[in-house]
Chains A and B, each alone.
Chain A
Amino acid sequence: MNLLASTHVPTEWILILAALLFSLGTLGFLIRRNLIIVFMSIELMLNATNLTFLAAARDRHLDPDGQVYAIIVITLAAVEVAVGLALLISLFRLKVGIDVDDAKELKG
């Protein structure tokens, strides 16, 4: 892709979008009681981080390091979702709900 054509969108706009998404993710993480939606909020925050990495990488003339970090973050998100959902299912089997409050005792 042409380097000049790809620098049309101002970096500030991308950063504002990332900040918005991160704040929304934080909000969801803090106010929701459903554990699945809490996980989705974490995904939102990780995506905002990725967007920030890519915006910075684009500012540095498409620095490949930014893309590498974004790939690592994606890997981390995949691992986190797999482990988190396994925990969630075992919590669901152990008790009946997947509310955050259902895991208050933290023992079987």
Chain B
Amino acid sequence: MELVVFVILAIGAVGAAINVVLGKSPTVAGVNLVTTFLCLAGIYLLIGFPFLAALQVMIYAGAIMVLILFVIMLLDLRREEPGLQTISSLIGPVIAACIAAFLALALPDYKVSQANLPLVGNGQSASVGGEGLAESLFGTNLILFEVSSVLLLVGIIGVVVLASRQRKSQTERLQAHLLASEGGETR
């Protein structure tokens, strides 16, 4: 039963991902990406990580996708992107195929390396999304947590700087545009 659900969710995720990669319009790609995220959240739930599934829905399917779709609508894209070009268009698929082949080749090694892994704790740490997670996040991996908070802060500052610079350049562009249109030139 779980296998059937997993296969259905996996097919949904991969199909939507193919639509993202090969589809034409960014809006359709965004909606398909939401489908991929939701299918992945279902898979997280299925393999026993309900907290991560909730985070996936809230952050990925919620916040990030709203941001992306908002930008798509803000930019109001009408221009079709040009089709694949000659030589450089072949390099991308070849590299992607190489990575896929590499991952496929690395897969049998997983069992071997897995046998060497030590079990954490007493092998009974089944406290998913509870104390075990909090202990790991704020205990053993505290530095990781702090670094990611610094990263968030830097990200916020960077976005504010970018936005303010953009406003300045926008007024300059407006002035240049006005000057140009006074000269009788239309864009």
Question: Are B81 and A34 within 8 A (Cβ)?
Answer: yes
Name the B residues within 8 Å of A37 (CB-CB): 20-21, 26, 29
Question: Are A65 and B141 within 8 A (Cβ)?
Answer: yes
Question: Are A30 and B29 within 8 A (Cβ)?
Answer: no
Question: Are B3 and A61 within 8 A (Cβ)?
Answer: no
A58-B48, A79-B151 are contacts. A31–B104 as well, Cβ < 8 Å? no
Instruction: Give the Cβ gap from B151 to chain A, nearest Cβ, in Å.
Output: 6
Main secondary structure of the interface of A (DSSP, over half): helix
Name the B residues within 8 Å of A6 (CB-CB): 46-48
Contact with B along A15-46 (1 / 0, CB 8 A): 11101111111111011111011011101100
Nearest residue, chain B, Cβ from A57: B49
Give the number of chain A interface residues (Cβ < 8 Å).
77
Question: Are A74 and B55 within 8 A (Cβ)?
Answer: yes
Query: A91 to B178, alpha carbons, bound, how many Å?
Result: 20
- A-binding residues in B (CB < 8 A): 2-3, 6, 10, 13-14, 17-18, 20-21, 26, 29-30, 33, 36-37, 40, 43-44, 46-52, 55-56, 59-60, 63-64, 67-68, 71-72, 74-75, 77, 79, 81-82, 84, 89, 91-93, 95-97, 99-100, 103-104, 107, 110, 114, 117, 119-121, 123-129, 132-133, 135-137, 140-141, 144-145, 148, 151-152, 154-156, 158-159, 162-163, 165-166, 169-170, 173
